[in-house]
Structure 1
């Protein structure tokens, strides 16, 4: 199978869903993964060793594993999580494997490539930045006596589950370096896919890495944004689908889009969403991507069919 060169940006389960679907559509896949996670096993390893958090990178590699007994076996090994309250308790074995390779190789990208070879991965996984990132958010609604007051919430895990309204996000450091391979993958792709995923802490963090944002703005690739299946929950509680695009536009006013994909179940006002997409230069595609019996989860085949319809469409003459 051949197909367009696709670079997918994000993290966590949202990026994994996109990568799983893309494997049905093309052989040329690169994942550029957020490195701001500070919770669970990743947070512990990050704090102890000062390394990039490996968890989201591991999930992306697992999603790209070869569709064979070998690939599935090593995917399951990579995803295995130790039980108990001891030093290994809660750690995913894949995180430890990635850490070991990083200690053996000076270049973290080389270590990730080796894990990809072990999995016979259908694609490549790259970090979004060359240093661990800290997310800071100004959040309102945390003080019942003064709902408009803003409070700084620090850390991906804390921002992701804040009960308040995220007003603004930023990174520490504010000008993190990106790996040349990550920038090159965006510049040379046929399509770049943003989302789905936690909007502020997995998707939009890429726009706060200056080299990635510039690459997104100048790339020859067409740009697709995939909206979440449950847009108004978690850190974006109360958000409509079009509000997500409004936030994206405010964060990267120089970024133009070509397509927006939304499941019918999340489109509460198609006219408003169409107008918002059009303002960014994009066509709106309302196509089913969710499982029929579990609306909050992606169906890999339906998602792949939607991506195929968009990624193989001819470039419009504007």
Structure 2
């Protein structure tokens, strides 16, 4: 096993952390968390990403099944999102995100594997510690912040799919559940899995904790389903912010509106209170209904144009960063 201190990797825009900077713990997974991190790295260098570990599809699923490791894909995306917008940062971001493609007619063992997944798993095997491995990867990339797994063991997410108001079959696995349609009765297996200690500490030490954006049932909600994580989120002295999705009616949220997303949070974790809900007005149908749903979890609503100017359901990093900066500055 390797020992020693982390290497110092040069990064042109990486500034030393300041005690005056806001400390943020951002929770989620996949593309949603990456969008939040891409904005947050423009606001503060004291960012800790806490990432779901229930992915079981694609490259991550294969590595999880074959090697028994945490699924590295969402962790890789979070690290990539924290890379600086410099030659160094852009190069390492592209290296981490690079996927191998076998030549035509060949079924290769590396096909569709992301190089970053392989790098992360290599560090885990060498160091014997997922957190240490992610810290080495972050140092190599010059990441503006830290990336941590939500739990110390791989998780499986299960749920039922309803149709026409009738409960349906149990679906097991994030990759299947995300495409299943109207989801309900979601749970984690094992339900009492240990949370990552460092992630729990990051939540307690933060000034702000941010949930979302992301797939509501498979990336956002799992943080409130893991008992130790849920307790930390409910007892932290940090302010709590929910960032709403731009597309509130994606495949796993079929038939839901923006207010319904907040009702889901309230239903699964009624003791969880929120200070601010950030939403793009273009994604909200009935603003009054949405404000009432936010009030039920203790939150005020901040409306801001945070979507891409191209009209896609994609958060614009600069606009989202400006919204975060205004919220952090207005309520410390």
**TM-score, normalised relative to structure 2:** 0.91
Matched, 1:134 2:148: no
Counterpart-to-counterpart distance in 2, 1:77 and 1:178:
30
Counterpart-to-counterpart distance in 2, 1:147 and 1:239:
13
> Can you list the C-alpha shifts for 1:231-263, whole angstroms capped at 9, x where unaligned?
011100111101000000111111000000010
Counterpart-to-counterpart distance in 1, 2:25 and 2:205:
9
> Can you list the C-alpha shifts for 1:37-70, whole angstroms capped at 9, x where unaligned?
0000000000000110000000000000133211
**SS of 2:180 mapped into structure 1:** coil
**SS of 2:319 mapped into structure 1:** helix
Contact 2:242 2:276 in 1 (8 A): yes
Matched, 1:70 2:88: yes
**Cα 1:162/1:131, change in 2 over 3 Å:** same
Counterpart-to-counterpart distance in 1, 2:151 and 2:288:
37
Matched, 1:24 2:42: yes
Counterpart-to-counterpart distance in 1, 2:316 and 2:167:
40
Counterpart-to-counterpart distance in 1, 2:244 and 2:185:
19
Aligned length: 310
Matched, 1:223 2:240: yes
Counterpart-to-counterpart distance in 1, 2:145 and 2:278:
22
Matched, 1:232 2:232: no
Q: Which runs of 5+ in 1 are unaligned?
A: none
Matched, 1:188 2:210: no
Matched, 1:40 2:58: yes
**SS of 2:293 mapped into structure 1:** helix
Q: Mapping of 1:97-116 within 5 angstroms?
A: 97-116=119-138
Question: How many Å apart are 1:150 and its aligned residue?
Answer: 2.5
In the alignment, what sits opposite 2:10? none
In the alignment, what sits opposite 2:295? 278
Matched, 1:167 2:184: yes
**Cα 1:148/1:225, change in 2 over 3 Å:** same
Counterpart-to-counterpart distance in 2, 1:249 and 1:24:
31
Cα RMSD after superposing both structures: 1.1
Counterpart-to-counterpart distance in 2, 1:118 and 1:71:
10
Q: Which runs of 5+ in 2 are unaligned?
A: 1-14
Comparing 276-285 with 292-301, greater Cα deviation is found at 292-301
In the alignment, what sits opposite 2:8? none
**SS of 1:193 mapped into structure 2:** strand
In the alignment, what sits opposite 1:213? 230
